[in-house]
Structure 1
Amino acid sequence: MSGKSIEVGVIGLGKFGLELALNLRRLGNNVVGIDTSEERVKAAKPYLAQVFQADGTDQQTLEQLSFQDFNYVVVSTGDSMEASILVVLNLQEIGVNKIWVKAISSAHQKVLSRMGVDFVVFPEHFAAKQLAHKLSTPGMIDYLSLGNDILIKERNAGDWAGKTLIDLDLTNNYHAQVVAIRKNGSEELNFVPKANEPLDESDVLIMIGTRENLLKVP
């Protein structure tokens, strides 16, 4: 991993919480996980150096485990909105600086935002929106939740062969930006491609823009 590792506490080791914890570990960060379920704690132990069967709604427990000292704490407490809110209140009470929370509903998301939570993620909502965009936007690679339905889409150079990005002027003509090019069927992406190099017919352009604008690109 490049850069400095961070210390993250993860409260709730269900599917989302455990997967997040595992990925944070793979990226070289220090993770402390807790869950009230003995079964979930056992499932996490082979992968996390520090995992405890504990209740995040107990403020004293959080303090004893030094959650106030972590760079971030992620709350992923399953289906209980009440438990999630109580955990957040406890974390705020002991002085946790950065709190990220998994929301289980739009109402939950709204309450968390009003509580001043640093970041709220609603995985089911995001995944459903991403899939809807993918089904209705040919060539779409990814959906970015940046407020204006920002998509990443690929297009074969095809009839643009021989032209340069300067010639195409996609930014001014379609408000779309080419952020990378995949050449000759390679899996490798050439990021920030040179604007004055002619395109090959086999090149694949990776573009970013709003769905509305990307659909206008011929």
Structure 2
Amino acid sequence: MLNKLEIGVIGLGKFGFFVAQRLMELGHQVVGLDGNPDNVRRAQEALTQVYQGDATDKKVLEQLGFAEFNNVVVSVGSAMEASILICLHLKEIGVEKVWIKAISWEHEKVLRKIGADEVFFPERFGAHQVALQLTNPGLIEYMQFGQGVLMQKLTVDEWAGKALRDLDLTKKFRAQVVAVRKAGSPENDFTYLPSADDVLNKGDELVVIVQEEMLEKLKP
């Protein structure tokens, strides 16, 4: 890992705790804050440091050193007023990037107006993922950095015997192959960023980044 980050997570309920736990698994240091003693106890052995306190109190955030974090994630459930106040305080004490959970479009508007850098709706994103995976077998991920960009798994049939260079997928379908698993290989034995000269065989599995409207035109 090139950069080991120290990240603050405020709100250690289900979503906040899972985010914090995953950040730890990725090798980062995570400092958690929650007012619920049960949430604090659950997180103590999983995170770098955990505090019990009121995150809506600006002095608490300052005393616990949250001003020193470049990134702070805020997930305080349905407490709209609390999340707005926490976001305001974090920006005032100099946190560079605040990632915060919203519960409505109106909530998102307010958060952005007071300086939230990234606003997310876990339930909405999860529902969108399920719907897409249900209707697009092989979908790995709906990618948020572009409009309708998918990461899709495809199995080679008609493309057998051709090299990636010959297929010219980027020009024809605005698609890019990022990984290949040869037919008969172990399930997770992918070759990433394959050579354009690699020849495909029937049954090979491709991981492709493609715009959603082009997906049905791909006939591997």
Do they superpose with TM above 0.5?
A: yes
Per-residue deviation, residues 149-195 of structure 1 (Å, max 9, x unmatched): 11011111122111111222222222211111111333122111111
The aligned counterpart of 1:94 is 93
SS in 2 for 1:159: coil
Q: In terms of mean alpha carbon deviation, does 17-26 or 183-192 score higher? A: 183-192
SS in 2 for 1:215: helix
Quick check: 1:34–1:56 contact (8 Å CA) kept in 2?
A: yes
Q: CA deviation at 1:31?
A: 1.4
Gaps of at least 5 residues in structure 2 are none
TM-score calculated relative to the size of structure 2: 0.93
Matches within 5 A, 1:22-41: 22-41=21-40
Quick check: 1:179–1:193 contact (8 Å CA) kept in 2?
A: yes
The aligned counterpart of 2:200 is 199
SS in 2 for 1:209: strand
Gaps of at least 5 residues in structure 1 are none
SS in 1 for 2:158: helix
Per-residue deviation, residues 94-149 of structure 1 (Å, max 9, x unmatched): 12222111112222222222222111121111111111111122321211112411
Measured in 2, the distance between the counterparts of 1:138 and 1:24 equals 29
The aligned counterpart of 1:19 is 18
Matched, 1:214 2:215: yes
Measured in 2, the distance between the counterparts of 1:41 and 1:169 equals 53
The aligned counterpart of 2:182 is 183
Aligned length: 217
SS in 2 for 1:142: strand
Measured in 2, the distance between the counterparts of 1:21 and 1:196 equals 42
Measured in 2, the distance between the counterparts of 1:148 and 1:110 equals 20
Measured in 1, the distance between the counterparts of 2:4 and 2:162 equals 44
Q: In terms of mean alpha carbon deviation, does 60-69 or 21-30 score higher? A: 21-30
Measured in 2, the distance between the counterparts of 1:49 and 1:142 equals 30
Amino acid at match of 1:95: G
The aligned counterpart of 1:153 is 152
Matches within 5 A, 1:13-162: 13-162=12-161
